Amino acid sequence: MKRKIFNPVIRDTTTFLQTAEETNGVFSYIEVTLRPGGQTPLHYHKNFTETFTAEEGELGLHLGAGKKILLSPGETCTVPIGQTHNFFNPGNEEIRFKVLTQPGSAGFENALRILYGLAGDGLTDERAVPKKFVDLAVVAVMSDMHLPGVQGLLYPLMRWIANRARRNGTEQYLLDRYCR
């Protein structure tokens, strides 16, 4: 499996420093480069914490409703299970940061590989969101990424579609294509 993946749509790079498999599920550890203006949607995880450490440049985090944190290189912030959050690059230069998930999540790692692979194959929109709802559902469920508010009402449908994709071979196709 590749250690370093690139998303050509949003021009971000993720490097897998230590995987869940390598740590017997104790943690996953990745390094991300994020272009100016890059960000994730507001979301939360039910199965793991995320600890963000800024390495180069300033890393922004939104926590919950309205709390904004800016991390300078060397500073760390841990997002507990269930806490809504997103990360973003508030500056004009590319930034680099590390993310430690505890416990480790092979699903999270595979979801990143699938998302970046779909982007490379032209199967995402300009924001790198999968064009096919089934692909989006598989990635959302696999990564334990839950959206807050009204958008969160879609999660049961996404879980149903992802389970169907598991049964009909779609999930396995995505894993074989992008994660092997």
**Last residue of some domain: 47, 81, 102?**
102
Instruction: For residues 124 and 46, state if they share a domain.
Output: no
**Number of compact structural domains in the chain:** 2
Domain coverage including residue 125 = 106-178
Return per-residue pLDDT of the chain as tens, 180 residues. Answer: 889 999 999 889 999 999 999 999 999 999 999 999 999 888 999 999 999 999 999 999 999 878 999 999 999 999 999 999 999 999 999 999 999 999 999 999 999 999 999 999 999 998 889 999 999 999 999 999 998 988 889 999 999 999 999 999 999 999 999 998
Name the pTM for this structure: 0.93
Instruction: For residues 74 and 151, state if they share a domain.
Output: no
Instruction: For residues 112 and 36, state if they share a domain.
Output: no
Checking DSSP bridges between strand 28-34 and strand 4-7, what pairing results, if any? unpaired
Distance CA(33)–CA(115), nearest Å, equals 16
61: how many CB neighbours lie within 10 A of its CB? 19
